Each structure stands twice: as structure tokens, then as C-alpha cells.
Structure 1
Amino acid sequence: MSYFFFFFFFFNSSQGTNQELSDVLNELWKLDVNRMKPGKDYKINLQGKAGFVSEGSNNARDSARAPLFSYVNENKLKSIDTYAHFINLLDNYEMSTGVAEQVTKEELQENNLFLDAILKTEVMKCAHRYLVSKGRASSDPAKFKRQLYDIWFKLYRRDKSGGEDSCGFEHVFVGETKHGKEIMGLHNWVQFYHQEKHNHVDYKGYKARSNKDTPDEDDHVLNLQFSWNGLVKPVGSCFIGVSPEFEVALFTIVFLLSDERVTNVKVKVDEYLLEIVVYRFGYSIGTSYPKMISSNNRDF
């Protein structure tokens, strides 16, 4: 099988669900012992279905008077190393693109402590073994860590008018704005919860593909609408309750297995049929997120 045909077949969504990748991601799912349990470690309040928002508009009907998160076990967030180190990174970035990032020695250390923490988990060890088997990562743990650093933390210029103003971690997990007019990224539930807690985020309601595919409060993936510091994101998506190491592992695998600028792959993880989307920015991640297609063990 040629190199081109392998990658075309492996990632072409028209082929349906990618079984090999689904198997790998389900193994990561089983190993994710730090995943929070819905109804026990956190509770979400879905409320109403979000309405349509026209492109460029920051006016959205609020179909959710209460926050999305009604409870999160903060003691657990603080006591699990990967969450604790992840949270330390959330205040390290300038919100707006075009403003060059200034990385301090303390922030560099925080980046490395986070990578060290997730690399100790069985989730990341499994991801590393798989990538080595595919020839997409070195078996040397130190080299793999440097590879992860470049993918997630290496700064690049997202806005051509400024300096190095962005990185994969900031965009995906923290979120940023484009010229103060548009929300970009912010696909992480811990960041969403923290921003909501401090009244920076206003959850507007859930987004469903159809009336037959409405989410429930035990779902670990959600398509949603929200405002952040006054700007509206018409449709966003994120995992709910999963650990930082699970997301890093999943998105890293999809990123490294494809050389395409944009990769869309359909997988079934646990009971969820998802489309995983990853944009490449050179040797780094531009953005990555899951899109819920269906759930609740429906026939696909």
C-alpha cells in the first residue's frame, strides 16, 4: 500500500468510521482513570437549545439562565497532578491575537511540569507506544516530550500583523480572540468552568444536529453556544469531564498520523460517534476539537 493511499484511506471520512483509530481511542478511554464521573464529580445543567446566530453577530438568544456547570469537585481538580498542572497554564496567555506572547521562566517550567505529569499516565504511555509503532514518534521518552512541546507549546504567528502570538495549547485549551471581535478555540471543559465561575463565560444553550440527537447530562461530549467577555461563539464543542492527558493524547495521535493541513476523521469512542477535527500549523497544532455526531448507543 502506498504512503499516499494509506493516509487517504486512514483519514477519509467518506469511508465511514475509522475502526483502527476508534480501537486506539477506546483503549485510551479505558485507561483514563482521571476522567471525572458525571453526577458525582461534576454536574451540568443543559437547559434549552441554543438559537441561530448570524455570522459576525454577538447577539444570541439566551436559552440557559443558569450556568452550564452547577457543580465541579474542585478538590479533585487540585489533588490530581495533571489537572493541577493544567490549571496553572490557563493564565499564561494574552487573549488577543496580534499581541506577542512573552514567556517567562516560570511559564516555561509550568509547561514542562505539565508534560512531565501527563507523560507519567497510562493514557500517554499508550499513545506513545502506538505512535512509535506507526513510525510517527521516537521511542526515546525525552525526544517524544520535545515533540509534544513543539506540537502544543511552540509559539507561532497566527496574526500576520504581530509577533509570535499563539500556540496549540492556547488556542485549543485556553481560547483566544481575533482582533477582539471573534472567539477562537476554547474547547476545554476545565477552562470553560473556570471562566464561567468568574462570570467571563455565559452559556447560551446546547446545539444539536437534530431533534433526535439531543444531549443528556451524562454525556462526555457537548456541542454548545456561549459568550466570552461579550463575544459570542455560535457553535463550540468540547469533551466534558475527560482528563487533560486524554485530550492531549487523542489530538496528538490524529495530528501526527496525518500530514494534511486539515484532518477530519470519524470515530466511535465509548458510546459517542464523533468527528475529530485537527488543523495543522506547520509542525504545531492550529486547532483541534471533537464534534458530536450521535450518542447514547444508537445504531450508526
Structure 2
Amino acid sequence: MYFVGLKEKKGLGIDQELSDVLNELWKLDVNRMKPGKYYKVNLQGKAGFVAEGSNNARDSARAPLFSYVDEKKLKSMDTYAHFLNLLDNYEMSTGVTEHVTKEELQENHLFLDAMLKTEVMKCAHRFLVCKGLAQSDLAQFKSQLYDIWFKLYRRDKNGGEDSCGFEHVFVGETKYGKEIMGLHNWVQFYHQEKHNHVNYKGYKARNNKDTPDEDDHVLNLQFSWNGLVKPVGSCFIGVSPEFEVALFTIVFFLSDERVTKVTVKVDEYLLEIVVYRFGRSIGTSYPKMISSNNRDF
């Protein structure tokens, strides 16, 4: 793929150049799991309002969000298999210093190595090199990815190095045991739901109007995790780890702003991609569904 310079944004503030490269990643994401075949979701009811600071939420979903996931398929793909190994490497609460063992360090590197072999990450790398934002040498690019996603930093000023981009976005953490932060990944959500740590409360419709489709690859939702409620969360559903890492990495590199919010059209979805910087690392990143199936375009 040949990447051109910044294109004019058109319609609804859509960033066309970014949309183009993200659609290329979408096409290359052969590890994206097919809804209805490799997993099934049960959306059930629309989630209600939750007052700020409250952990009381009406449960509009008596059953779990995921009614089925083909775990054999999940574990058969390298990036997913290595991703799963990372989910138990972190302390849940901020303020508790993380201690990375040699085994955990190796798991981080194996995950990055597996991702860098995929066409999705190769495409992201080419784009960033073309933009002069990433090192062309693969080992140096891997080092950049490590710093963005796995380098520990201090999220709670009163403690030691207690967080990193990967933990916040893909694993989730809590603040003072009172607030859920992050947890924007569908595999972790399923994993926590399977072990009865997560309770899905219902979907959050755009402007309380649209009803999502069970085949949608992006969902705004409400849930509780170990007794704490997240009033509104959002995540991709069924996409591969390499797709998410590539997408958020590109947006991170493209902007020096502390908070970046950009509107893109990916496949049939109109999304707002949000990325917060924490120094030279990712603080958080997630997609927000604006519309799908060409509604309101």
C-alpha cells in the first residue's frame, strides 16, 4: 500500500487518511473472529443511568454478554495465545507497585514478536515509517512499542510504578478500590465474565436511540467488575490484539496532544478513537461507537 500525505477531511469531520490506513488494517486482520461462528454475544437490555460515584446499577442483562466463545480457535492463534498469558501479570489496584518477573518480561517480548509477524502490524509499521514517526529497523520499532505499551509508570503519585498502557487498556485496573479504569478488551471481558468477576449490565445506545447489532464489532456497554460499576465502557468485539495495538499505536504517534480524539470510518462503523498520553506511553485508548451500518453518514 502506498501512503500519501494528509488528505482533506470530509463529512462529519472524518479523518480520511487515517480511515484509509485503518481500513487497510481491517482488511489484513485475518485473525479477527467471525461473529456467530467463533463467538456469540447476547446484548439483552439497554443499560440505565448510574449516578457519578455510585456502584448501584439496574441490571438489564440477566445472562452474560458472551454466550459462546470458541476457546480452541482463540488459543490456536499465536497473538491471542501470547495475549492470554499476559492477563494475570498485573496488580489490579493503582498505588500497588508492579514487580515484573523474568517470566513476565519474556511473555511481553513473545507477544510483541508474535504481533510483529502479522500483516496488520507490518502495515502499521510501514505507515509510521513513511510518516517519519517510527524507526525502520524492526528491533528499534519493537523497542518503541515496548515503551508505549509495557514501560511502567506511576499513575498514583503516592506509590511506585503501578501501571502501564497495556495493563490499563487491555487488562483493566481500579483506582483506590472505588473506580474501574480501562478494561477495553473483549477477550479480557470474556475471561473475567467466565470466572464470574464481570457482570454485564446492558448496552449503551448512541444518544439512547440506536440499538446495536449482535454482529457489530464495536460495543458501548455497562458492567460491574468485582463489585465496582463502570457506567459506560467501550471496546472492539472479535478483533485481534494486533489490530487494536496497531490502531492505537498509530493514533498515539500521529498526535503530541495529551488527549487525542479523532473520527474515522472503519468498515461500516463510524467511530471516535480516543487516546490519552501518559508521557511517552499510552495512558488509555478506546473506540467509541458513533454509528454503524451507514446510519447517519
User: TM-score, with normalisation over the residues of structure 2?
Assistant: 0.96
1:249 counterpart = 2:246: yes
Deviation at 1:77, TM superposition (A): 1.1
Q: Which residue of 2 aligns with 1:180?
A: 177
Q: Which residue of 2 aligns with 1:3?
A: none
> Distance in 1 between the 2:57 and 2:136 partners?
49
1:296 counterpart = 2:273: no
Tell whether the 8 Å contact from 1:62 to 1:205 is kept in structure 2 after alignment.
yes
Deviation at 1:296, TM superposition (A): 1.3
> Distance in 1 between the 2:257 and 2:208 partners?
34
Decide whether aligned partners of structure 1 residues 84 and 13 sit closer, same or farther in structure 2, where only a CA change above 3 A counts. Answer: farther
Q: 1:22 aligns with which of 19, 24, 28?
A: 19
1:158 counterpart = 2:161: no
> Distance in 2 between the 1:123 and 1:216 partners?
26
Residue type at the aligned position of 1:43: K
Question: Counterparts in 2 of 1:84-103, with a 5 A limit?
Answer: 84-103=81-100
User: How many percent of aligned residue pairs carry the same amino acid?
Assistant: 88
SS in 1 for 2:229: strand
SS in 1 for 2:144: helix
Deviation at 1:212, TM superposition (A): 3.8
Deviation at 1:201, TM superposition (A): 0.0
SS in 2 for 1:151: helix
CA RMSD of aligned residues (A): 1.6
Q: How many residue pairs get matched?
A: 293
> Distance in 2 between the 1:106 and 1:64 partners?
39
Tell whether the 8 Å contact from 2:47 to 2:202 is kept in structure 1 after alignment.
yes
Deviation at 1:15, TM superposition (A): 6.8
1:201 counterpart = 2:192: no
Deviation at 1:213, TM superposition (A): 1.8
> Distance in 2 between the 1:74 and 1:298 partners?
33
Question: Counterparts in 2 of 1:264-279, with a 5 A limit?
Answer: 264-279=261-276
Tell whether the 8 Å contact from 1:172 to 1:288 is kept in structure 2 after alignment.
yes
Q: Which residue of 1 aligns with 2:278?
A: 281
Tell whether the 8 Å contact from 1:213 to 1:295 is kept in structure 2 after alignment.
no
> Distance in 1 between the 2:171 and 2:152 partners?
14
Tell whether the 8 Å contact from 1:13 to 1:266 is kept in structure 2 after alignment.
no
Deviation at 1:211, TM superposition (A): 4.7
Q: Which residue of 2 aligns with 1:65?
A: 62
Deviation at 1:298, TM superposition (A): 2.0
User: TM-score, with normalisation over the residues of structure 1?
Assistant: 0.95
Deviation at 1:92, TM superposition (A): 0.1
Deviations 1:260-289 (A, max 9, x none): 000000000000000000000011000000
> Distance in 2 between the 1:298 and 1:55 partners?
31
Deviations 1:217-262 (A, max 9, x none): 0000000000000000000000000000000000000000100000
* Structure 1 spans left out of the alignment, 5+ residues: 1-5
> Distance in 1 between the 2:46 and 2:101 partners?
42
> Distance in 1 between the 2:10 and 2:205 partners?
20
Residue type at the aligned position of 1:41: Y
Deviation at 1:210, TM superposition (A): 3.0
Q: Spell out structure 1 runs of 4+ moving beyond 2 A.
A: 12-15
SS in 1 for 2:248: helix
Q: Which residue of 2 aligns with 1:35?
A: 32
SS in 2 for 1:210: helix
Decide whether aligned partners of structure 1 residues 121 and 260 sit closer, same or farther in structure 2, where only a CA change above 3 A counts. Answer: same
Q: Which residue of 1 aligns with 2:131?
A: 134
Residue type at the aligned position of 2:169: V
Tell whether the 8 Å contact from 1:13 to 1:265 is kept in structure 2 after alignment.
no
Q: Which residue of 1 aligns with 2:142?
A: 145
